[in-house]
A and B are shown apart, each in its own frame.
Chain A
Amino acid sequence: MSKRNPEYDFAWCPGCGDFGVRRALQVALEGYSAEHEEPQANNVIIAGIGCSGNIVHLVEGEQPFGIHGIHGRTLPISFGVKQGNSDLNTVVVAGDGDFLSIGAEHLGPAANRNVDVTAVVMDNGVYGLTKGQSSPTTAFGKITASTPLGKIENPVSPLKLYMSIGVTFIASYYSSKPRVLAKLIQEAMNHKGFSIVHVQSPCTTYNDTYDLLKGKPKEGVKGLAYEIPEDHDPTSVEDANDLLSRPGIPLGVIFKQERKTFRDRYEELRERSPKRTNDELLDSYLLQM
């Protein structure tokens, strides 16, 4: 149920991490628009398929533009949107299945291009909408609806993957503190280049990892999530790799690098490009006597 559209009939399960991500995304979009004095209509959300994709219908306040496309293709769609109009703040929202399984082939090209797009990945370690099958980030050995004897594959390490292919802004967080997450997302939007905010967004129905992430402080159980130490230098490749070699889920900006964006390089080529009118092009085929 969305406040903007009471007829809209999709709802996340109670306690779903995606509620927090939605709140954070909303605040980040408002913050970004205010910071750059741009209308909400300059924001485009490109959503994948799965529980998380519904965020495009559920963000509240003034409606941004959106595409709720097909499974796994958020990055190629965002490439077209951004190159179609580079003034648009182009944001991808996708789940771990959409982004890292069926859509994984698009990560490399997006990183190579350093396309100026922000991806907010909602990682719940499971295919929720289809009722609990194993996903790329599901742990080895885990029993799910589609792995009744335990998952046979190793899980992907998303942050290491992003680092290895040259994503120029990598942040990791969880859904429980939307205001802090919002700041990270806004920082990612402000980054010139391909930015990914990888969010642990637990599925309370099929893979409830809240306790695993945050631990049980009262019982003295430590969680996997930990604040990135203050002396971490996100502009350092060494620091980032060092951080990612440790166990646990770091919270904050892991890596940030300034590099020319696809658009920067494209405009350089355009300067050198041939400039011929349609008539001149057609005349290059003229039969001359």
Chain B
Amino acid sequence: MDKHDFVIRFAGEGGQGLVTSADALARAAAHAGYFVQTHATYPSQIMGGPASSQVRISTTPVLSSGDGVDVLVALNQYAYDHHNEDLNPGGVTVYNAEEYDLPEGGHYFGIKADELAKSTGNARAANMVTIGAVTKLIDFNPEEIDEFIRQRFTRGREGDDEIIEANIKAVRLGAEVADSAGFNVGQLESATPPDYSQIIITGNAAIAMGSTAAGCDFYVGYPISPATTVLVWMENNLWGEGRFVHQVASEIEAINATLGAGFAGKKAMTATAGPGFSLMSEGLGLAWMAEIPMVVVNVQRGGPATGLPTKSEQSDLYTCMHPAHGDIKMPVLAPGSIEECFWAAVLAQNWAERYQGPVILMTEFGLAERGENIRRPDLSKVSQECRTTVSEGDTGKRYDSWDGSTPLPGMPIPGGPGAYVANGSEHDEIGDTTHLPRHHVRLMERRFKKLDLLKDSPYEIENADADCIIMPWGSSKGPAREAYDRLREEGANIGWLYSLALHPLPEEVLAVLKSGKKIIVPELNYLGQWSALLRMEGFNAESITQYTGLPFRPADLVTRIRERIGAGVTA
């Protein structure tokens, strides 16, 4: 049976090379022209602990990590017990026969990967034995794997040839075991490589890359899961004249140093996760008050407190939009795919410069570490906006009143004209502290009016005439889109609304919300945070929530949306 879509999961414990196996299979499939998406879940420890890593391979763009698993590779009994239930009908488990045994007669077979690897002369090729078995099960062209192995292990060293030969042999041995077991979960349809240039990248790397392309030239950060890889990327790459990168002593240092650099004229950024973001609250308030351009990335994990450091949750929305005390509402961008991570990072930098203030870019564990092949972003399409500054002879003051009818006055940069005090206390035109009501009123209005400059974010609207509209945000976009497509196929009368920005919303998105249609928000939190914020604005929104630390499965969403729209379904 031809199938266009397979999910292959490797489960075991941390340190067993699960991520490497899924990644290798993903790369080989991407090379062959398929669309791939990896997804990993692991405990917050370096070695050991239950972990899994999977890859979804498809002939069409992969929107989510899928529903169930077609091939499960279970390296220990615990992994088998906990992942077996995710097997799709007809799915097969490959179990580690060196570790445990299963009674005869099930939809599984054992493999002794270490032993077979040793027989090739390369004990480190065990994961290739497993990959060989998997590829046989889905009838994946073995020549593609061979080609992948040749590329990966051709490193210009002596012994490359032997390593390549052993790995190819390992794949063959694994395939033979699978073949003799007699299972097949279907045949993967052949794929045609797209005619455009592709990259394979994670969400965090896409954010670092996008920010850099947009001109970010100052980055400080502090290690925290799952945002650490942004720091590591920057430490490796954000060098060169006029650029600065450094690991500082805490998130409090990070936010305040970012602010200092933004004040001094840099395009400054920091990235963190929930706990660090909480520590940054006061500094963000200062940036809002003193109107300092900067970008803060919050790669969400499960919360509160230490929460679930290596799981996916969308529970920081309230805190991203209203991070600090006082009247504040931050501009928030929340990308829904790896490609959007890149472009949202560009937009975040440009927004910060344009409106002279802090911008929050919120992503999630589910995007941060997952790999995906995407179109290589066209750098010639990356715009680099720069804040307007002041020139000698300008008569305006830093904190003049502003009602939006003229361009936003320029921001003086230290060393140049227009000296002022960037003040976190309410202030007058040059930044001196004042408690006079008229200054608090005029600057409060200025700070909020500036948000009108940020109405140009991308959005998607489909079937807005339907009675009921699905509006996911962030990484729930992918599974929600799959569910939406399936429901539409069934004939459900539903619409689609998606906005990269959660604040401020583009006018076109607001128009749909204002129509009074029922808005259903699938989101990964307990409180239903986005629908609550929408209801606060008077819109007719309700949530479908999940708080397992895992992403939505499209099939679950189909069922739950069906329940909500009730009579609206005509299938």
B283 is an interface residue with CB less than 8 A from chain A: yes
A146 is an interface residue with CB less than 8 A from chain B: no
Which of these, A73, A81, A105, contacts B261 with CB under 8 Å?
A81
Which of these, A66, A273, A274, contacts B422 with CB under 8 Å?
A66
Which of these, B237, B265, B286, contacts A69 with CB under 8 Å?
B286
Are the C-beta atoms of A68 and B421 separated by less than 8 Å?
yes
Are the C-beta atoms of A67 and B260 separated by less than 8 Å?
yes
Which of these, A82, A83, A109, A276, contacts B249 with CB under 8 Å?
A109
Give the B-binding residues of A (Cβ under 8 A). 2, 5, 7-10, 39-42, 44, 46, 54, 56-57, 62-70, 73, 76-85, 87-88, 105-106, 108-109, 266, 270, 273-276, 278-279, 281-282, 285-289
Question: What are 28 A-B contacts with C-beta separation under 8 Å?
Answer: A7-B434, A7-B436, A10-B433, A41-B416, A41-B417, A44-B264, A62-B419, A63-B420, A65-B414, A65-B419, A66-B423, A67-B422, A69-B286, A70-B256, A76-B260, A79-B256, A79-B257, A79-B260, A80-B256, A80-B261, A84-B218, A105-B250, A273-B239, A278-B212, A285-B205, A286-B376, A287-B27, A289-B193
List, in ascending order, chain A residues with CB within 8 A of B264's CB. Answer: 44, 80-81, 84-85, 88
List, in ascending order, chain A residues with CB within 8 A of B199's CB. Answer: 282, 285-287
Which of these, B193, B252, B417, B419, contacts A73 with CB under 8 Å?
B252
B330 is an interface residue with CB less than 8 A from chain A: no
Are the C-beta atoms of B253 and A109 separated by less than 8 Å?
yes
Are the C-beta atoms of B256 and A77 separated by less than 8 Å?
yes
Give the A-binding residues of B (Cβ under 8 A). 27, 30-31, 147, 151, 193, 197-201, 205, 209, 212-213, 218, 220, 236-237, 239-241, 244, 246, 248-250, 252-266, 268, 282-283, 285-286, 290, 373, 376-377, 379, 412, 414-417, 419-425, 428, 430-436
B177 to chain A, nearest CB (A): 29
Are the C-beta atoms of B197 and A281 separated by less than 8 Å?
no
Interface centre among B248, B249, B268 (most CB of A within 10 A): B249
Which of these, A62, A63, A84, A273, contacts B430 with CB under 8 Å?
A63
A9 and B263 contact, Cβ closer than 8 Å, known pairs A66-B420, A83-B246, A106-B249 = no
Starting from the known contacts A84-B260, A279-B379, 4 additional A-B residue pairs (CB-CB under 8 Å) come to A7-B436, A41-B415, A109-B249, A287-B373
Interface centre among B415, B417, B435 (most CB of A within 10 A): B415
Give Cα distance in the complex from A129 to B387, angstroms: 36
A80 and B220 contact, Cβ closer than 8 Å, known pairs A57-B421, A282-B199 = yes
A8 to chain B, nearest CB (A): 4
Give Cα distance in the complex from A66 to B418, angstroms: 11
Are the C-beta atoms of A278 and B263 separated by less than 8 Å?
no
Are the C-beta atoms of B283 and A70 separated by less than 8 Å?
yes
Are the C-beta atoms of A67 and B237 separated by less than 8 Å?
no
List, in ascending order, chain B residues with CB within 8 A of A85's CB. Answer: 264-266, 414-415
Which of these, A67, A106, A108, A285, contacts B421 with CB under 8 Å?
A67
List, in ascending order, chain A residues with CB within 8 A of B252's CB. Answer: 73, 76, 105
A105 and B257 contact, Cβ closer than 8 Å, known pairs A57-B433, A63-B430, A282-B209 = no
A184 to chain B, nearest CB (A): 24
Are the C-beta atoms of A42 and B415 separated by less than 8 Å?
yes
A81 and B260 contact, Cβ closer than 8 Å, known pairs A40-B419, A278-B212 = yes
Are the C-beta atoms of A79 and B253 separated by less than 8 Å?
yes
Which of these, A2, A39, A88, contacts B432 with CB under 8 Å?
A2
Chain A minimum-CB-distance residue to B425: A68
Give Cα distance in the complex from A10 to B414, angstroms: 25
A287 and B239 contact, Cβ closer than 8 Å, known pairs A8-B433, A73-B283 = no
B333 to chain A, nearest CB (A): 21
Give Cα distance in the complex from A85 to B264, angstroms: 6
A87 and B379 contact, Cβ closer than 8 Å, known pairs A70-B283, A80-B259 = no
Chain A minimum-CB-distance residue to B419: A63
